[in-house]
Amino acid sequence: MLGAGVGIQPQYRGSGVEVLGFPSGFAWDQIRFPMGVKLRGTDFTSTLSPRDLVDPQIWTGTTVHVDSATGDDSNNGLGAYDGDFSAPKRTIYGAFATGNATGGAYRVLVKAGQYEESAFTRNGKNEPNQPVAIVGWGGAVRYRAGPFSVSWSNVGATYSAPVSSVKRLFRTDVLTAEGSYSELPKAEDLAMCQAIVDTWFLDGQLYQISLSHLYSKSGQVKVRLLDGDAIFVDLGSDIEAAQKYFQQQLLLIETRQRSRQAALEALQAEVTLLRDRQSDQRENFLKAQSLGAHKPDYVYLTGEVGVQSRFALPFAEQAVLADALFDAGGIAPGTGDVSQIYVLRGPTKDEEFRGITAWHLDAINAIDLVYAADFQLRPKDIIFVAEQPVTRWDRAMSQAIPNFYGATSSVGN
């Protein structure tokens, strides 16, 4: 089942509304999908919503995004939300392949732009096999048959190009009121084509299109010039002079391109030298560090911690109190007093000696341990965790009782 958004809005109510009948030959299943069309001013409205024409699971299924300008069929086409074109497909048939693989209904969001006709189903090779809706996103989505670029040759009164399978020609620089390309009428013969501007004629294997007087009339289409465009103006018809002029322009463009290429190569060489220099510096630093030439700064942990040790401060990074505490095994369970955590810091080399600064952290409430994750350490800081009072009493008794038994034994002897 294939659904396409047709842009029909809910029914208008009120005066000035004309109920329209269906044109002759318009076959519509009014039993399954009752629909009425009304005209109010220049707006056509309908009682039927396009969403009612497709499988409702389409609107809850997978969304695949397509963008002909920035897409790549190697992308998955998915996004975090509808309209997320961060990894779009390039073609609609690429989106079909992804949607079909889900095994369920899905929708394809096609970003505004130009698409080749073959990009729709790859000439019938990639068809949807699940219910799908194709929805334009952010503006008009236009298709054109045949190649996007055509090489034209100047043959005097007309310009010619190799024939294609398409038997209709359009001007892409002149749009209709609906925003579509303007179609050129076909002339009856070559003479009429050469005599009437904006007509075409199929001459054997070539399309002849009369555009020689395109810019001679005021009010005709204006050409938007880009940086680097060349214009040749000649009141006569000296083709050789025009060819020489454009040959000079081409030579100038080639010279500029070579200059840009040389500048790019010089920049790449400079970047390569910089990377090599940085690589050598990194390698020398690692070797010197392995030989002890670059010793890190330390903080020291003592008291009731898991392991009394020193903690190396990282290069070009900032360590905090929690890093050092938990690197050493944390506070000793059963003996450490979490209400008596201290950081002792002496003066720096540039400061006069003003005594020792001590910071106290009372973490008997576990919430206060958050401060340990914010307190920044400095080289030569001393981290001290005091023992619990019961631990101090237990250790005093452990030292006193052996002495007591030792003294009793001496008296007995």
Work out the average pLDDT over 69-98. 92
* CA atoms of 28 and 53, how far apart (whole Å): 12
Least confident of 253-262, 340-349, 383-392: 383-392
Residues 169, 139 share a domain: no
Do residue 119 and residue 163 come from a single domain?
Answer: no
**Who has greater pLDDT, 6 or 400?**
400
Residues 317 and 342 in one domain: yes
- Residue 30 belongs to a domain: yes
Q: What is the mean pLDDT of the chain?
A: 77
42 and 159 part of one domain: no
How do residues 190-240 score in pLDDT, each as one tens digit?
A: 888 878 888 888 876 666 777 655 555 554 455 566 666 666 555 555 567
- The last residue of one of the domains, among 144, 177, 196, is 144
pLDDT of residue 7: 36
Q: Is residue 203 part of a domain?
A: yes
Residue 413 has pLDDT above 50, yes or no: no
Domain identity same for 159 and 112? no
Where is pLDDT greater, at 309 or 174?
309
* Per-residue pLDDT tens over the stretch 336-365: 888 889 999 888 776 666 678 888 998 888
Work out the pLDDT band at 141, boundaries 50, 70, 90: confident
Residue 81 has what pLDDT? Answer: 93
Looking at the structure, do residues 15 and 140 belong to the same domain, yes or no? yes
Residue 133 has pLDDT above 80, yes or no: yes
Same-domain pairing of 180 and 61: no
> What pLDDT is stored for residue 184 in this prediction?
87
- Tell me the mean pLDDT in the region 370-375: 89
Are both 368 and 322 inside the same structural domain?
yes
pLDDT of 26 over the 80 cut:
no
Q: Is residue 193 part of a domain?
A: yes
Q: Is there a contact between 134 and 106 (Cβ–Cβ < 8 Å)? A: no
Say whether pLDDT at 173 is over 70: yes
Angle at 277 between CA 273 and CA 279, to 5 degrees: 115
Of 119, 144, 169, which marks where a domain is finished? 144
Ranked by mean pLDDT, the top range of 133-142, 145-154, 230-239, 289-298 is 133-142
| Backbone Cα Rg of the chain | 41
Structure token digits, residue 364: 């008997």
Do 75 and 14 sit in the same domain of this protein? Answer: yes
Q: Which residue is it, tokens 């039927």? A: 48
pTM of the predicted protein model: 0.35
Q: Which domain holds residue 195?
A: 153-209
Q: What are phi and psi of 408, to 5 degrees?
A: -60, -40
- Beginning with the edge strand found earlier in the chain, give each strand of the sheet holding 43-46 in spatial order: 17-20, 37-40, 43-46
Range in 10-14, 126-130, 179-183, 397-401 the model is least confident about: 10-14
Out of 115-119, 205-209, 234-238, 305-309, give the one with best mean pLDDT: 305-309
* Same domain for 202 and 324: no
Per-residue confidence band for 390, with pLDDT thresholds at 50, 70 and 90: low
DSSP-assigned letter for residue 217? S
Tell me whether residue 262 is in a domain.
no
Closest to 5 (Cα-Cα) out of 69, 41, 48: 48
Domain membership of residue 38 (yes or no) is yes
In a domain, 171, yes or no: yes
Model pLDDT, residue 339? 87
Q: How confident is the model at residue 158 (pLDDT cuts 50, 70, 90)?
A: low
pLDDT at 33: 75
Q: Where are the alpha helices (DSSP H) in 291-388?
A: 321-327
Q: Which of 169, 138, 131 is nearest to 152 (CA)?
A: 169
pLDDT above 70 (res 128): yes
Query: Of 171, 70, 50, whose CA–CA distance to 111 is shortest?
Result: 70
How many folded domains does the chain comprise?
A: 3
Is residue 88 in some structural domain? yes
Q: Is the pLDDT higher at 183 or at 393?
A: 183
What CATH code is carried by the domain that includes residue 368?
Answer: 3.10.560.10
In a domain, 194, yes or no: yes
Q: Are residues 40 and 172 in the same domain?
A: no
314-324 average pLDDT score = 85
What is the distance between the alpha carbons of residues 306 and 196, in angstroms, rounded to a whole number? 97
Report for 70-74, 113-117, 142-146: range of highest mean pLDDT: 70-74
**Statement to judge: residues 167 and 54 lie in one domain:** no
Q: Specify whether the CB–CB gap between 63 and 107 falls below 8 A.
A: yes
Distance of CA 224 to the CA centre of its chain: 30
Concatenated DSSP letters of 193-213: HHHSTT-EEEETTEEEE--TT
Contact present, 343 and 381 (Cβ < 8 Å): yes
